[in-house]
Structure 1
């Protein structure tokens, strides 16, 4: 292939890919809800653009709380669709296909047909939702009640069990039970789904009432568990929510007060220890100065006393008598003795 022709083909494929991507971005999936009575026919329409690059088209059935199941599939350029699973030999479910449409028809609707149906298309590994339709089939004389336990208050660290009683009348088949939590900070979220059969179910033959009890056990509760818990039941083609059980977790203020008290006591003890240490240091310093002064004075006194003893040893005593000249009487009267001390150092 010449280089110019090769480049032209590359540009064409790139433009085609961009056009397909823009087509997918501009196409939005719609969602609808259909409620019918048992025995009626249900028509689910799904249209698409004839020039779309998508080549495969599907129908999926999704029961609440379960994975989607493939109903049908057809290739854009074929005239027949392929049915799968339980729908393969089900004459009540048919697909009407042609250019631009992929419609699903359910005849003589039954309670088991209640589900959400998805119409999808694909090109390569890219899947697009074209339609999402929720079908609810109602049965005459059917009643479903959901009863929940009252509000409860627990303390942090405790355990609790929430109860949900489901009572159905004139309704066959198992029900699906789910627990939702609404904390008020965000949208309610699914936290638990009961799977399989429940051994706590009882049936009253006189009233044809079927009662089941579902429990939600939680341990080691804390403030994050506080909120309203709703029991949702999908049964007989209907989804019902209970009134909700409000769970209150006791305030941890007592623990906070204890923590604050201990923290304050620790701070006070630390301050008192520093104060005592500082006082002891000042007393020790003061006593040290006095001892030094006493020792200096004692040393000085001792040195002076020793020097005095040495000086005393070196003293020489001499007595000098001096007589004044005068009359003999005067000399007798005025005669006195005087002592003169001198120190002689060698």
Structure 2
């Protein structure tokens, strides 16, 4: 299920068991770029479930438990509540996912924008080094965020190559701007491809502008050397041809 709501609204994530033998109920929450975390647990022979980890200290979260149900109620929703929620039931040592909710809490005053600043027209040669920059503008959304680098090439599907969450603030930019750098040394043909910067923050994941890394410089050099060799060979054939036609056929065949 998908739930979209504004900051301050309430939402109830409903979960019913499909089996009467279900003994334990759990809620898990997964935010973008993070592992799933145990949110709550409920034992059917108890009167009420309990919240876990940091969620147990937040009065905005409540559980509605009973025979075959495990509802999670969120009041006064915040952007940090965005994520994917899973309801899991356990019976006979078997885990079953009953319900899944993708929750998006939006704040009209917050925004996040990403951009990748790297020219695709640079003449890059094998053995050179290059730095790809990803500038993140978080606006009023100043929560935790993580940056991912993906690479896409003709030989393989897009894949994650690097991730980091340490912000390197640029003094020339606004307070809520960070610059992330991806350094690559001793470039080879395998580094050629299209690179994407993705930012996960405040319930969103956004991709920046693509950066094409094309190692065409060495190909041009090889072509020019080959062309010079052909010209030189043709000149040699022409000069030899003034001596005897037999020699020309032998050298230039």
- TM-score by length of structure 2 reads 0.77
Question: Residue 243 of structure 1 corresponds to which residue in structure 2?
Answer: 209
2:10 counterpart of 1:44 = no
Corresponding residue for residue 134 of structure 1: 102
- Picking from 185, 189, 192, the partner of 2:159 is 189
Report the count of equivalent residues.
222
Partner residue, 2:140: 170
CA RMSD in angstroms, aligned pairs only: 2.7
Question: Are the counterparts in 1 of residues 123 and 217 from structure 2 also a CA contact under 8 Å?
Answer: no
Q: For 2:93 and 2:217, how far apart are their aligned partners in 1?
A: 52
Residue 232 of structure 1: how far off its partner (Å):
1.1
- Corresponding residue of 2:184: 218
For 1:203 and 1:136, how far apart are their aligned partners in 2?
A: 33
Query: Aligned partners of 1:71 and 1:110: how far apart in 2?
Result: 16
CA distance in 2, matches of 1:122, 1:249: 54
**How many angstroms apart in 1 are the aligned matches of 2:15 and 2:171?**
43
Match of 2:50 among 82, 86, 89: 82
> Which structure 2 segments of 5+ residues have no match?
230-253
In structure 2, the CA distance between the partners of 1:129 and 1:66, relative to structure 1 (3 Å rule), is: same
Alpha-carbon offset, residue 220 of structure 1: 2.7
What is the Cα deviation at residue 69 of structure 1?
1.5
Q: Distance in 2 between matches of 1:228 and 1:173?
A: 29
Q: Secondary structure at the match of 2:35?
A: coil
Q: Is the 2:153–2:193 Cα contact (8 Å) retained in structure 1?
A: yes
Q: Does 1:60 align with 2:28?
A: yes
Paired residue for 1:33?
2
1:114 and 2:93 correspond: no
Structure with the largest fraction of helix? 1
1:302-333 Cα shifts (integer Å, max 9, x gaps)? xxxxxxxxxxxxxxxxxxxxxxxxxxxxxxxx
Deviations 1:84-108 (CA, angstroms, capped at 9, x unpaired): 1111121111122222322211111
Q: Distance in 2 between matches of 1:40 and 1:202?
A: 37
Paired residue for 1:310?
A: none
Question: Contact 1:156–1:249 at 8 Å: present in 2 too?
Answer: yes
2:196 aligned with 1:227, yes or no?
no
Counterpart selection for 2:125 from 155, 161, 175 = 155
**Structure number with higher relative contact order (C-alpha < 8 Å, ≥ 6 residues apart):** 2
Alignment partner, residue 70 of structure 2? 102
Report 1:263-342 matches (<5 A).
Answer: none
Compared with structure 1, are the counterparts of its residues 121 and 223 closer, same or farther at alpha carbon in structure 2 (3 Å cutoff)? Answer: farther
